Amino acid sequence: MVTPFPARPPRAALALTTLLLVLAGLVGTALITPPARAASLTQVGSFGSNPGNLAMYAYRPDGLPAGRPLVVLLHGCTQNANGYFANSGWRKYADQWGFALVLPQTSSANNASSCFNWFQTGDTTRGQGEAASIRAMVAYAVANYGTDPSRVYVSGLSAGGAMSAVMLATYPDVFAAGSIAAGLAYRCASSLIEASGCQYGPTSRTPQQWGDLVRNAYPGYRGPYPRVAVWQGQSDYTVVPANGVQLRDQWTNVRGVSQTPAATRSLTGGTTLKVYGDDDVRLYEISGMGHGLPVDPGGAGDQCGVTAAYFLDTICSAYHDARFFGLDGGAQPSPTVTPTATPTVTPSPSPSAMPTVTPSATPPGTCVRASNYAHTIAGRAYQSGGYTFAKGSNDAMGLWNTFTTHSLRQTGPDYWVLADGQC
């Protein structure tokens, strides 16, 4: 039987990748020792109805309060929840900006290559199969983690990307927005044979016809449909670039906006971002990139992930998706904007690893309590690798975000010490 998407990479390649990751970890430890983290990816044994025979894994940053967002992450073929969690870069922003992750996992019992069955009608219909199992995981998170039900998002790669489109189409009342990397339009295929045709060549449908497939997934729904970001490598020969355009056509039609971009943005890694409507739909086209999820290993604010099989070193998609979903609380600058011939989007400032810091003219002895983010903006602290440190003393302050707060006291020019409980 032909199975959509590539086979597992050679064991030697995985072994080499593992060795390099271990060495990189040792080097990073020598440079900086971040605070210990107890939170880890954990399997949830029972989460409710599971007609799709999926496993549920979840990650909740330490001290995460109720009322925070949730992102559902869907792995690609031959992958699993743990590998996607380790390599995709999403953990960094879950820790930094404070939200939970749920990672559904399929298996070879469902599909020979452990792909989500994005092309089987029994798994892509509301209330049925794998789609219903993923919906049950979200309900579990809302009930048990206190997840904000109005801030639930989904993102996935390859077959997981196609399954993200399934979830956005079948449960528009559940997901506020989503991201589809190297994926396919909803109901591009309804059988294994049709799936191969969609992967390797364009399907002849108009934007209206693509949109109707989504609207028919939940007849009678009258609420707003999710905003959607699409990531597509322009040298992807497994899910050809035509699929990115078809996704663009489908979701701009559903959102009721033009298929002509309102603005074009030039990003790192050979990436061109086209924005449609009032940021209703985004299409990221990455020059020279093959089949995989875009990552960009490094310690800067807009860098994330680990390079491995199907995790390709170009641009940190998790960073841009988290900001598109509104999970950053406005903590990061926007990328450089190159307007189209008829721009409708106001250009944003160029990104940087850290905001430009102008130290406050604070007299020595002054004690200030603020969030870690506010301390860095004011020049009282700095961030490295997603963690915050007092300027001068290098006192560890925990994660760099707007939720963690500390008191700092200035004891000399440009020298601050941790002073919790002292002022």
12: tokens are 């030697």
Sheet architecture: strand order including 405-412 = 367-371, 405-412, 415-418
Q: How far is CA 220 from CA 135, 173, 176, 187, in A?
A: 19, 12, 18, 18
Catalytic residue among 155, 158, 164, 179: 158
The yes-or-no answer on residue 158 being catalytic is yes
DSSP structure string for 204-269 = ---HHHHHHHHHTTSTT--SPPPEEEEEEETT-SSS-THHHHHHHHHHHHHHT--SS-SEEEEETT
How far apart are the two ends of the chain, measured CA to CA in Å? 69
Whether 131 contacts 167, CB under 8 Å: yes
Other C-beta atoms closer than 10 Å to the C-beta of 166 total 30
**40 three-state secondary structure:** coil
Decide: residue 288, CB within 10 A, 0-12 exposed, 13-18 middle, 19+ buried. exposed
Pairwise CA distance, residues 71 & 34, whole Å: 25
Contact 387, 34 (CB under 8 A): yes
Percentages of the chain per state (helix, strand, coil), in multiples of 5: 25, 20, 50
Of the candidates 95, 111, 119, 110, which has an alpha carbon nearest to the alpha carbon of residue 38? 95
Q: Are 197 and 205 in contact (CB under 8 A)?
A: no
Structure tokens that stand for 26 in this block: 């040792």
Length of the chain: 423
Query: What's the CA angle centered on 151, arms 62 and 72, to 5 degrees?
Result: 65
- Provide the annotated active-site residues: 158
